[in-house]
Structure 1
């Protein structure tokens, strides 16, 4: 992220933090970083990593575009909790269950070398049940390439990803290695190495030192449009 962009995001973070009456320490505790990190974000010395930026949007209850300085409207895409009644028939009784919905971002590409939400390309938002994502921060990623086609995951599908820096053994993670864009691979740990296994017979597994692998999240659900 360039310096000007850092400054815009930093100013927005400070403005929004003051708006909810948080100190830098309180905000840091809320999103899982120390006070110095918050101070560096606000002064433009550093940009918040993807997982922290997503948490900031949630804490501030603002649109990601506002945090990034792309709009002056804080609630163009509000992280709203819209309530819907669900019923099998056309008549919806008062006793019908209520589903609370939240909006989460959709990314077209997760690019290597960019640690901040501000530098990633948000292509839209999707409403999901609050219960589906209540255990953490989530985002959608549009699948690129054919690395997982043998598991029925094709280009253009969307995967629901829990933002985290560790992927469970044997699960599908969003992984960045050696300047590549974020890609889907099954992740296996063997001592101090990581085995990245594609689901494509033409792509051999990669065995890498654990510190060479950057995980952006773990896939929780695969979707496709019909």
Structure 2
């Protein structure tokens, strides 16, 4: 048994379960045999980089999470993150009824976008602190 692969194998199995797939289904998607997938999941073999890349691409899995167990499991939809950051920035900047300067909206929404990507969410305190910096 190869200890280093145990972590990635467990994470491959977790992705498969979260996606509601059987070993046969995921193996077919990835172009490998079911016993081959089972060997990766159990940590008996280390998956090749091409398989890791294929799994990440086909299922929106974060490579950092799959390889190292760090960060979010799935990669965020950048369009949704952008819309959320922009809407949050707009709501913050227009709360007092003042005219919003385009530069402030751009700076705040950019900062929020980066923060949300790194932390997956932000609370009012973060928005307020960032808003004071761009105003």
Is 1:24 the counterpart of 2:31 in the alignment? no
Give RMSD over aligned pairs: 2.3
* Aligned counterpart, 1:44: 43
The superposition leaves residues 96-147 of structure 1 with CA deviations (integer Å, 9 ceiling, x where unpaired) of xxxxxxxxxxxxxxxxxxxxxxxxxxxxxxxxxxxxxxxxxxxxxxxxxxxx
Matched residue of 1:45: which SS?
Answer: coil
Shift of 1:49: 1.1
Larger Rg: 2
More relative contact order, 1 or 2 (CA 8 Å, 6+ apart): 2
Which structure shows the bigger proportion of residues in helix conformation? 2
Q: Which runs of 5+ in 2 are unaligned?
A: 83-135
The two structures have a TM-score, normalised by structure 1, of: 0.33
**Runs of 4+ displaced beyond 4 Å:** none
The superposition leaves residues 180-202 of structure 1 with CA deviations (integer Å, 9 ceiling, x where unpaired) of xxxxxxxxxxxxxxxxxxxxxxx
Matched residue of 2:38: which SS?
Answer: helix
Which structure shows the bigger proportion of residues in strand conformation? 1
Structure 2 distance, partners of 1:26, 1:79, is 24
Q: Which runs of 5+ in 1 are unaligned?
A: 85-226
The two structures have a TM-score, normalised by structure 2, of: 0.53
Is 1:35 the counterpart of 2:47 in the alignment? no
Shift of 1:65: 0.7
> How many residues align structurally?
81
Structure 1 distance, partners of 2:48, 2:62, is 17
Shift of 1:72: 4.4
* Aligned counterpart, 2:2: 3
The superposition leaves residues 5-41 of structure 1 with CA deviations (integer Å, 9 ceiling, x where unpaired) of 2000000000110011101110011111110111010
Contact 1:58 1:79 in 2 (8 A): no
